[in-house]
């Protein structure tokens, strides 16, 4: 077979030979020879030393001048002979000596100049340069199909707008739930501050942050918010604090750029001066406490607290120059002097390892703390200004997750482990008034806030450790307001015909949503990491970390079938377009095929395609003959379903049409970036 080679390509000589070998399906063909057997090592030799030669051979070993015609095999015939595989390569540079510099560079000759044989149509596969992307330091090549949309780098006419944020971050954050004067719930998820109106079932979002929000505080006026973010990898994502309006969602002030090393671990407004001061604590090793006059962006002072596992920091409500930090084995008062220096008073210090989890104040300024041992402690001030323990009592079994002092003097406490919410009368020496226990499915208490601040109706919101928000009171049951997966969310599938999608995660919960409304949740026995709807939409398949395939009725959430596939995690599952086959890609590198009947509810094992690399994403071809997968190292692999074998030539697969595009690498999903560090 003949190939026309363009010497003016910008591609390295070795890569051109490798591409030619893949086109001709000649594994290991990485050398070029003249008819007389001399090896060609560069484009320079082709242009100079072999300028008079028109024909060359591509092969594995040395090719002599006496080579018989039988050695010049096309890829179609090579498997029928044991002779060395070679191909004739012709230099077309003599036909195209003049080229306009304004014309784009082409890797190979135009289609009109391609030599075609009866067995194989060559190099139409390479009429356009492939995309080369470096991922995690390794270079990968993706070949374009013959027919695809032209490249258009102009910005799209429309922009995406954030419509809804699902879930709540209660697993690893504290003091993260408030109520605005409008009645909206305020909380944060990832880099978004969410304002949720339960009555209108709408959300507003503040999206000014460039990295995950780590802490937040509501201004005494309840019309502004201070939020601090963690540090990213570049200057645009430095850790800082933002002040923004809850009414207009406009950013009012940004400060702290370059001051916070790792992130902002705590942020709080002052009280007496109308919230003119803001404190922030760096999440770095020294846990530096800084105080700012935020309207001007002035840093009033800072001090290294040198405390590990800091859980919070606040201003004293009766003194804007007195700040309190708390965490693992420490409760410290910081008095900022006029010269900007801080006087330190340790109330709790090493060797104590008690974790102070939450802090509140009585109306006269006495300090109330809760700790990881389940105790609540009240500190008062003596005549000399020294703090002492006035009272201490065990409120919960193990850790206390939240404290809140209501306006009438009732202290509410929530347990992280025992899931109890208790009310204590601060005016009667903290006599217990009543308590209640949350169901296990909701998790422990992370945050408490009154539904109508200032009113004594007993209705509260509760954020939980399993990422739920509840509403209720100690006199009645609690109802779920916001559902979130309690652990990592890995499975996501969209219904083929309806505006419905399903989610699954390590928390063993599977949920079905219609837009922003939760339809049902089902608790299963395994951690689920993959999801797929049957093409008819009535069955939902999910793969678990223990190698089980679960089939659910998508209308009711009921489990109708459980199949043991293997002993490795089932990282991706997918039905073919007709719904009579399901492919299951595993962590062990193999793909398991099952025959499907009864609209997706009956399964029978069919075949297995063996592999070695963990598979993370998968797509069926539109004709159900092939699969493409992405490994954990971001290698794109192809599989022949009929022969149950891998397809080693990516060029041969370039024109296959895919039923889905779950794979995160490939020509059709390649962006403008050519170097990706994950």
Task: Give the Å distances, CA to CA, from 674 to 629, 653, 667, 669.
Answer: 21, 22, 12, 12
Looking only at the bridges linking them, the beta strands covering 298-304 and 431-437 are unpaired
- Residue 582 and residue 603: Cα distance in Å, rounded? 9
Those residues with Cβ within 8 angstroms of residue 161's Cβ, 6 or more apart along the chain or in another chain: none
Q: Counting runs of H as helices and runs of E as strands, what totals does the chain give?
A: 2, 52
What the block records as the tokens of 270 is: 């002052």
Task: Find the range with the poorest average confidence among 39-48, 271-280, 587-596, 633-642.
Answer: 39-48
Closest to 498 (Cα-Cα) out of 530, 522, 533: 533
The confidence band for 8, taking pLDDT boundaries of 50, 70 and 90, is low
The confidence band for 668, taking pLDDT boundaries of 50, 70 and 90, is confident
What the block records as the tokens of 90 is: 């012709």
Q: What is the mean pLDDT of residues 280-303?
A: 93
Tell me the pLDDT tens digit for each residue of 228-258: 999 998 888 999 999 999 999 999 999 999 8
**Cis amide leading into 351 (omega within 30):** yes
Sheet hosting strand 570-575, strand order edge to edge: 570-575, 581-586, 591-597, 602-609
Give the count of alpha carbons within 13 A of 591, CB side only.
30
Rg of the chain over Cα atoms, rounded to whole angstroms, equals 33
pTM score of the predicted model: 0.80
Percentage of residues of the chain with pLDDT beyond 90: 66
* CATH architecture entry for 208-353: 7 Propeller (2.130)
3-state secondary structure at position 71:
helix
Q: What is the mean pLDDT of residues 581-604?
A: 96
Residue 544 has pLDDT above 60, yes or no: yes
Q: Do domains 208-353 and 489-676 have the same CATH topology?
A: yes
535: left (phi over 0), alpha (psi -120 to 50) or beta: alpha
What the block records as the tokens of 440 is: 């296990």
Phi, psi torsion values for 330, nearest 5 degrees: -155, 145
Tell me the pLDDT tens digit for each residue of 252-277: 999 999 899 999 999 999 999 999 99
* CATH architecture entry for 489-676: 7 Propeller (2.130)
Tell me the pLDDT tens digit for each residue of 51-99: 777 777 777 655 444 433 333 333 333 333 333 444 445 443 444 433 3
- Residue 618 and residue 583: Cα distance in Å, rounded? 9
Those residues with Cβ within 8 angstroms of residue 243's Cβ, 6 or more apart along the chain or in another chain: 224, 225, 226, 251, 252, 253, 254, 278, 294
How many CB atoms are closer than 10 A to CB 67? 18
> Which sequence spans correspond to the domains of the chain?
2-129, 208-353, 489-676
- Residue 134 and residue 530: Cα distance in Å, rounded? 27
């Amino acid at each position: 077979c003949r190939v026309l080679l363009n010497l003016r390509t910008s591609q390295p000589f070795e890569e051109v030979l490798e591409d030619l070998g893949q086109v001709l399906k000649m594994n290991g063909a990485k050398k070029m020879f003249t008819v007389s057997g001399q090896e060609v090592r560069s484009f320079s030799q082709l242009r100079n030393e072999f300028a008079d030669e028109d024909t060359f051979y591509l092969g594995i070993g040395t090719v002599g001048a006496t080579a018989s015609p039988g050695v010049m095999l096309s890829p179609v015939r090579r498997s029928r002979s044991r002779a060395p595989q070679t191909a004739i390569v012709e230099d077309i540079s003599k036909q195209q000596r003049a080229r306009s510099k304004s014309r784009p560079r082409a890797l190979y000759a135009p289609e009109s100049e391609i030599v075609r044989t009866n067995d194989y149509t060559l190099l139409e596969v390479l009429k356009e340069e492939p995309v080369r992307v470096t991922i995690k330091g390794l270079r990968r090549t993706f070949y374009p199909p013959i027919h695809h949309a032209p490249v258009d780098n102009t910005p799209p006419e429309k922009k995406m707008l954030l419509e809804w944020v699902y879930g709540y971050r209660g697993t690893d954050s504290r003091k993260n739930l408030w109520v605005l004067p409008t009645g909206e719930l305020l909380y944060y998820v990832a880099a978004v501050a969410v304002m949720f109106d339960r009555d209108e079932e709408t959300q507003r979002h503040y999206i000014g942050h460039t990295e995950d929000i780590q802490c937040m505080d509501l201004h005494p006026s309840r019309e502004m918010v201070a939020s601090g973010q963690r540090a990213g990898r570049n200057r645009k994502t430095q850790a800082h604090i933002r002040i923004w309006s809850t009414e207009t969602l406009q950013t009012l002030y940004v400060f702290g750029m370059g001051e916070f090393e790792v992130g902002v671990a705590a942020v709080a407004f002052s009280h007496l001066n109308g919230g003119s001061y803001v404190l922030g604590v760096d999440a770095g090793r020294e846990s530096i406490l800084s105080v700012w006059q935020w309207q001007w962006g002035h840093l009033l002072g800072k001090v290294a607290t040198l405390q590990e596992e800091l859980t919070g920091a606040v201003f004293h409500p009766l003194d804007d120059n007195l700040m309190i930090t708390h965490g693992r084995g420490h409760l410290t008062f910081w008095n900022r002097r006029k010269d900007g220096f801080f006087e330190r008073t340790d109330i709790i210090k090493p060797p104590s390892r008690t974790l102070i989890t939450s802090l509140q104040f009585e109306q006269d300024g006495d300090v109330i703390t809760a700790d990881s041992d389940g105790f609540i402690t009240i500190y008062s001030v003596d005549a000399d200004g020294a703090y002492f323990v006035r009272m201490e009592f065990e409120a919960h079994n193990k850790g206390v997750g939240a404290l809140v002092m209501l306006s009438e003097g009732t202290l509410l406490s929530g347990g992280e482990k025992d899931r109890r919410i208790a009310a204590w009368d601060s005016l009667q020496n903290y006599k217990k008034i009543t308590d209640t226990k949350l169901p296990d499915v909701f998790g422990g208490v992370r945050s408490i806030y009154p539904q109508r601040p200032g009113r004594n109706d007993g209705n509260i919101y509760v954020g939980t450790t399993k990422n739920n928000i509840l509403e209720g009171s100690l006199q009645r049951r609690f109802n779920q307001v916001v559902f979130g997966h309690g652990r990592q969310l890995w499975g996501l599938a969209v219904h083929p015909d309806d505006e419905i999608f399903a989610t699954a995660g390590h928390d063993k919960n599977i949920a079905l949503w219609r837009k922003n409304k939760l339809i049902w949740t089902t608790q299963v026995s395994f951690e689920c990491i993959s999801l797929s709807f049957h093409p008819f939409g009535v069955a939902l398949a999910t793969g678990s970390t223990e190698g089980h395939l679960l089939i659910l009725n998508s209308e009711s959430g009921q489990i109708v079938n459980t199949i043991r596939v293997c002993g490795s995690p089932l990282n991706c599952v997918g039905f073919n377009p007709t719904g009579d086959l399901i492919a299951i890609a595993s962590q062990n590198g193999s793909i398991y095929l099952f025959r499907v009947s009864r609209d997706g509810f009956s399964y029978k094992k069919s075949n297995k395609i063996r592999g070695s690399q963990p598979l993370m994403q998968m797509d069926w071809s539109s004709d159900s003959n092939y699969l493409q997968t992405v490994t954990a190292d971001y290698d794109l692999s192809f599989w022949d379903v009929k022969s149950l074998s891998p397809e080693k030539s990516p060029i041969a697969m370039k024109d296959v049409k895919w039923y889905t595009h779950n794979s995160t690498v490939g020509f059709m999903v390649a962006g403008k970036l050519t170097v990706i560090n994950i």
